[in-house]
Amino acid sequence: MSLAGRNALITGAATGIGRATALLFAQAGARVIVNHLRKPSLAQAVVDEIVGKGGQAVSLEADVSQAGDTQRLCTLATAAFGSIDMLVNNAGILQEKPFLDTTEDDWDRMIATDLKSVFLMCRAVLPCMVGQGSGIVINIASDLGILGRAQYAPYCAAKAGVIGLTRSLALEFAPTIRVNAIAPGPVNTTMVSLQSMSAESIKKELDIPLHRFADPEEIAATALFLASDHARFFCGQVLSPNGGSVMP
């Protein structure tokens, strides 16, 4: 699944799924823009690992929930490698909180980071892809955007929105640009930490057929497939490496 000669912009790529995706895309031959927010050393470590293995990568800081930052990120990424052939909207946050305790600020922060950022990044990058006549967009959603979960209302709403946005963009920009989503189950990252979750949520996360969390590399492998020519007939799809949490 070669990505040689292509340029990938991955948001939230300093850690977790984004980091694993950046490393795997680089291994497949892509030049990678490692986006981060206030994690310069971690992002640079990803760049150094890619470069150390003979690849090409740059680190660019931007708050992808802000329109000005997304436009600047697109401009800098294009200047770095000449084009953006693949966009992976991965940046996100998670909060467990009873709905009646959830504040308007909680809601706004979650929607801005997990949903609005996808809108803003697509709005910034898609004109470039349309102009070059090709492109691939991969949006990271969640199985909770399909299932829902008590005490995760803003997160579930945001990720369900990502799925709806993915389908809408897929219809609007096909056949020039392929837009798909990934809805992972629980993944072993700093964001989904057993130490920060309630006992009830931990039980729900582990009570799936495979009885474990995914490694970030397993989700990255799904992204690599969608970015490759092997997935050229996938349009508006939601792939779910979830350990059996959702069986549509």
Of 25, 155, 173, 213, the active-site residue reads: 155
The answer to whether residue 152 is catalytic is no
Is the backbone peptide bond immediately before 127 cis, with ω within 30 degrees of 0? no
> What CA–CA distance (Å, rounded) separates 34 from 13?
5
Per DSSP, 99 falls in state: G
DSSP string, 105-127: HHHHHHHIIIIIHHHHHHHHHHH
Please give the C-alpha separations between residue 69 and each of 72, 123, 130, 208, 217, in angstroms, as whole numbers: 5, 12, 21, 38, 28
Three-state secondary-structure class, residue 182: strand
Please give the C-alpha separations between residue 122 and each of 96, 125, 129, in angstroms, as whole numbers: 28, 5, 10
> What CA–CA distance (Å, rounded) separates 159 from 147?
10
- Give per-residue burial for 29-68: e unless 16+ CB within 10 Å, then b: ebbbbbbbbebeeebbbbbeebeeeebbbbbbbbbbbbee
Q: Note whether 178 and 137 are within 8 A (CB).
A: yes
Residues, the chain, total?
248
Active site residues: 155
